[in-house]
Structure 1
Amino acid sequence: MITLTPAAVQEIRRLKMAHNQAQGILRLGVQSGGCADFVYELELVATPQPGDRHCTQADIAISIAPDSVPYIEGLQLDYTEDLMGGGFRFKNPQALKSCSCGHSFAIAPDFGSGI
C-alpha cells in the first residue's frame, strides 16, 4: 500500500518518542486544498478511526483514511533535511504533478472525487 524509507522510519520513531506516543499510529490522509488540488495529512494518533485501512512497516503502525486510499496507493514517504530544515517528502505514483512545496498534488480530472 505505502512504503516508508529508512529516513522516514527514523523520523517517525523520533517524533513518537518526542511526543510520548511510543504506541502511536501514523495516520495518513488526503484533503482538498493546497496549491495543486490536494494536500497530504500526517498525524500521530492513539487509535485509528473506524474504517481506516491498516498496515505495518518497520514496526510503524500505519492507518489510512478510507477515502484517501485511492489517492495515495503506492505512496513512498521519505524524510530529508537540508539547510532550511527537515520535512517529509511524498513520492506518489497517482500524482500527475506536485507543487514546489511537495505537500500538494494533482491527479487526473476523471479520477473521481471522494474527498
Structure 2
Amino acid sequence: MIQLTSPAVKEVLRLKARHKNANLLRLDVCERGCLGLSYLMQFEEGAQEGDQIYDCNAVQVVVSVRRLPHLDGLLIDYTEDLMGGGFRFQNPNSTQSCSCGISFSAAHGSD
C-alpha cells in the first residue's frame, strides 16, 4: 500500500495541472544517490502491464510490481519551510536514509 498525506495530495494535484495527459503518478526507485537508491516520481498517461495502481484520495499512484519490495508501505508527505517545499518519504523498507531525504538503502537491495 502507498499513502499520501493531504499536503502531498494537494501538491501533486497542483503539479499535475501543469502536465497534459497526466493521469497517473508513477513512483519508482533508481540506482543513484549516496546510499544506492533514490525515489523517482513522474506523471504518466496510463499504466503498463505489471503495474499496481493505488487510489490515494484524488491521486492515482502506479508502481511496477518489481518495485513493490522497495516501495510497499511508503508514506509520502509534503512540507514547506523557509528554504522551499519538498516531498518527504517515510519508507518502512529503508534500512538507512541519507540526510537529503531522497537517497536510501534497503534490505532487498536493487534489482
- Relative to the length of structure 2, the TM-score reads 0.92
Q: How many positions carry a matched residue from both structures?
A: 111
Partner Cα distance (1:18, 1:24) in 2? 12
Answer 1 or 2: which has greater strand percent: 2
User: Who is 2:106 aligned against?
Assistant: 107
The superposition leaves residues 3-34 of structure 1 with CA deviations (integer Å, 9 ceiling, x where unpaired) of 1000000001111112345x520100111111
State the identity as a percent. Answer: 44
Unaligned runs of 5+ in 1: none
Q: Cα distance 1:112–1:100, how it changes in 2: closer, same or farther (>3 A)?
A: closer
- Relative to the length of structure 1, the TM-score reads 0.89
The superposition leaves residues 36-77 of structure 1 with CA deviations (integer Å, 9 ceiling, x where unpaired) of 110001001111222111111102111002221110110000
Unaligned runs of 5+ in 2: none
Q: Cα distance 1:41–1:5, how it changes in 2: closer, same or farther (>3 A)?
A: same
The 4+ residue runs of structure 1 with deviation greater than 4 A are none
What is the Cα deviation at residue 112 of structure 1? 4.7
User: Who is 1:45 aligned against?
Assistant: 44
Partner Cα distance (2:26, 2:6) in 1? 18
The superposition leaves residues 66-98 of structure 1 with CA deviations (integer Å, 9 ceiling, x where unpaired) of 221110110000111111111111000011111
Partner-residue secondary structure (3-state), 2:93: coil
Matches within 5 A, 1:1-115: 1-21=1-21, 24-108=23-107, 111-114=108-111
